[in-house]
Structure 1
Amino acid sequence: MAEMLAILGGWKEARMTDKSDIIKQATERVLQLEGELEAEGAASTQGDELAHARAMLHQWVDSVVAVVSSPGVGRVSLIHDDGTESRISSPALPFRLSRPARFDS
């Protein structure tokens, strides 16, 4: 029993990994997948590069004039003010955008 608790304790510690480690692992995984597709990527995780990327994303989102959320396929389509479309593939985002069902007229 003590061995089992020690193993579970180690598992719990592994789950409680530092947030920066989780971010680093996620960005490395994405870059590795893009490398397999022979499409190079760049990761911004801190400092001026991240601040710039976030500012550009805010501008991009502010140009959205319509949103089509498709939870069944895990996709959100954005229509921008210049008529272009952008698609975001995400299992979570469509659900975040969905409103709860209402049955009271």
Structure 2
Amino acid sequence: MHTISFDTSFDTSFDTSQVLIDGQWRSADSGQTLPLENPSEGTRLTHIARGNAADINAAVVAARAALDVGAWGRMTATERGRVLSANGRKVLENVDMLAH
């Protein structure tokens, strides 16, 4: 039998009580947070923003605007594919760092 161990530490040095919409961190419309727990240990890691329909709508509007007027929307499918492939390569190159 093989034993697999995982680093279950969680970086709580950043503010998780806000949502990121249109490139800006802001409080969730609900003003509420949810506990984020480590399911393998049952321990509380931090609290995260509890977004609601208003937050979702704001994010969708921002994403639509970014697509309509931003660089991504002006790219061809081939160009977008190249960007995604390059990002995928970066993830694979840094998989160990990203996993922890």
Work out whether the TM-score is over 0.5: no
TM-score of the aligned structures, taking structure 1 as reference length = 0.28
Return the index of the structure with the highest Cα Rg. 1
Higher relative contact order (CA 8 A, sep 6+): 2
Which structure carries more helix by proportion? 1
